[in-house]
C-alpha cells in the first residue's frame, strides 16, 4: 500500500510574488463570512512587510510572537474560539512567517471547522472535515512546512501534528525577497532543518526513488548555499533555499524523518527549545547514526562560525531527561524508518537518555 499524497494546490514562485497575494485572495472573499484572517510573525510588526499585508475591510490581522513557545494546542483552540465568536467563519486563513506561523495557519484552518480541542486531532487522519481555504507564505526557509501535510502542535501530552490531506495548503506564495532579512543564526538553523530532513529521508527504510531524487537535489542546493564558493545569504542563495526547503519537504512525503527529529521533539516538548535550533544541537552528536551527514553538517557549522553550545545536559536532572526520552521513544514511525522493524531491540529509554546526556 503506497501513500497517496496530497500536493499543494497552487504555487507561485518568484521575486516579488508576494505582491500577487491580494489578487490571489480576491476570488475567495465571497466564501463564508467574507473576511480573511492573517497570522503574521510578530517580527514584521513595524517593518515594511506589515503595510504590504493585503488586509482589507473586516479582515483580522494577528501578529504572533512565535519566540515565546512553539505552537500549542491551547493557543490554536483559544484563537479559533475568539475568531468564531468575533466574526464567524472566515473565507480563509493566511500564514505569513516561518514554520511555526505556517503551522498555526494550517491548524487554525482545520480547527475552525472541526469541533472540540485540537488535542483530539493530533495524529494521522483524525480530522473529520476539511478546514477553510488556507495560504502559506514562508518568510524563512527550511522547515518544509509550506509543503507538508502536517501542522505540528505541542499539547499537554504530545508534540504531534494534525496530519491529513486537508492540512496541506491550498495556495503557497514563495517569494525569495521575503527571506532576505532573516537573522543569520536563524537562516542557518532553519536551513539546516532542510539538510537534516534530507539526511534522515535518505537513511532509512522508507526511502525510495521518489524521495531520493528530491532529497539528493535539496542536499545539493544546501551544499551550494552553505558550503559553495558563493555560500552565504545572498539573492541567488535565497532563490535556492526556497526551492531546497520545498524539495526537502517533498522528499519526506514518501520517506520519514529519523533519529534527529525524534530526539528534537523530546527536547522541544520538555524544554520548549525551538525546533530548528534543537535539531542543530542534536545533529552535532549523531555521528553514530549519520556519519557522513553529521560530518558535512559540522563543516557547515564551521563555515558560518555558528556556536552550538555544549554541556547543556549537565544542568538537566534525571527526571527531565527521562521525560525527554519518553517523548522521543513514542514516535514509532520515525524509529521504524531510521532503525527498522526491530527498532525496539536497540532503541531503549536508557539509550535515549544517554543520547540526551551527550548534549
Q: Which positions from 73 through 132 interact with a second copy, judged by CB under 8 A?
A: none
Q: Which positions from 152 through 171 interact with a second copy, judged by CB under 8 A?
A: 165, 171
What residues contact residue 8 under an 8 Å CB cut-off, 6+ apart?
146, 147, 168, 169, 170, 171, 172
174 to 193: interface string for a second copy, x by CB under 8 A: x-x-----------------
Output the smallest distance, CB 281 to a second copy, in A: 29
Distances (CA, A) of 139 to 10, 56, 206, 279: 18, 21, 30, 20
When asked if residue 249 is in the footprint of a second copy (CB under 8 A), the reply is no
Query: Would you say 13 or 62 has its CB closer to a second copy?
Result: 13
Query: Would you say 195 or 277 has its CB closer to a second copy?
Result: 195
Query: Would you say 221 or 283 has its CB closer to a second copy?
Result: 221
Nearest to 69 by CA among 231, 310, 275: 275
Q: Among positive and negative, which fits the CA dihedral 335, 338, 354, 285?
A: negative
Q: How many residues bind a second copy (CB under 8 A)?
A: 39
5 to 34: interface string for a second copy, x by CB under 8 A: xxxxxxxxxx-xx--x---x----------
What residues contact residue 165 under an 8 Å CB cut-off, 6+ apart?
5, 6, 149
Roughly what angle, to the nearest 10 degrees, separates helices 73-87 and 99-111? 50
When asked if residue 243 is in the footprint of a second copy (CB under 8 A), the reply is yes
When asked if residue 61 is in the footprint of a second copy (CB under 8 A), the reply is no
Footprint on this chain of a second copy (rule: CB under 8 A): 1-14, 16-17, 20, 24, 165, 171, 174, 176, 208-210, 213-214, 216-217, 220-221, 236, 239-240, 242-244, 247, 254
Amino acid at each position: 500500500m503506497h501513500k497517496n499524497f496530497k500536493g499543494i494546490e497552487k504555487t507561485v514562485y518568484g521575486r516579488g510574488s508576494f505582491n500577487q497575494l491580494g489578487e490571489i485572495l480576491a476570488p475567495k472573499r465571497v466564501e463564508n463570512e467574507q473576511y480573511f484572517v492573517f497570522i503574521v510573525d510578530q517580527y514584521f510588526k513595524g517593518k515594511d512587510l506589515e503595510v504590504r499585508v493585503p488586509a482589507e475591510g473586516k479582515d483580522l490581522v494577528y501578529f504572533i510572537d512565535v519566540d515565546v513557545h512553539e505552537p500549542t494546542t491551547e493557543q490554536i483552540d483559544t484563537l479559533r474560539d475568539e475568531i468564531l465568536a468575533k466574526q464567524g467563519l472566515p473565507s480563509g486563513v493566511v500564514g505569513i512567517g516561518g514554520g511555526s506561523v505556517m503551522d498555526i495557519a494550517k491548524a487554525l484552518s482545520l480547527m475552525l471547522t472541526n469541533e472540540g480541542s485540537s488535542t483530539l486531532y493530533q495524529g494521522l487522519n483524525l480530522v473529520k472535515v476539511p478546514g477553510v481555504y488556507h495560504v502559506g507564505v514562508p518568510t524563512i526557509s527550511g522547515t518544509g512546512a509550506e509543503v507538508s501535510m502536517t501542522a505540528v502542535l505541542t499539547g499537554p501530552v504530545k508534540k504531534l501534528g494534525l496530519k491529513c490531506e486537508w492540512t496541506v495548503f491550498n495556495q503557497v506564495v514563495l517569494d525569495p525577497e521575503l527571506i532576505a532579512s532573516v537573522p543569520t543564526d536563524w537562516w542557518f538553523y532553519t536551513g539546516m532543518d532542510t539538510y537534516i530532513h534530507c539526511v534522515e529521508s535518505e537513511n532509512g527504510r522508507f526511502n525510495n526513488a521518489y524521495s531520493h531524487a528530491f532529497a539528493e537535489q535539496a542536499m545539493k542546493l544546501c551544499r551550494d548555499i552553505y558550503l559553495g564558493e558563493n555560500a552565504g545569504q545572498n539573492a541567488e542563495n535565497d532563490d535556492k533555499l526556497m526551492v531546497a526547503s520545498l524539495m526537502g519537504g517533498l522528499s519526506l512525503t514518501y520517506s520519514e524523518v529519523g533519529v534527529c527529529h525524534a530526539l528534537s521533539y523530546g527536547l522541544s516538548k520538555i524544554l520548549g527549545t525551538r525546533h530548528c535550533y534543537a535539531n542543530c544541537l542534536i545533529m552535532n552528536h549523531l555521528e553514530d547514526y549519520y556519519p557522513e551527514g553529521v560530518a558535512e553538517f559540522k563543516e557547515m557549522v564551521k563555515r558560518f562560525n555558528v556556536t552550538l553550545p555544549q554541556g547543556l545536559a549537565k544542568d538537566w536532572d534525571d527526571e527531565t531527561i527521562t521525560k525527554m526520552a519518553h517523548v522521543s521513544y513514542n514516535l514509532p514511525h520515525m524509529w521504524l524508518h531510521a532503525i527498522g522493524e526491530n527498532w525496539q531491540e536497540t532503541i531503549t529509554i536508557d539509550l535515549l537518555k544517554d543520547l540526551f546526556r551527550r548534549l
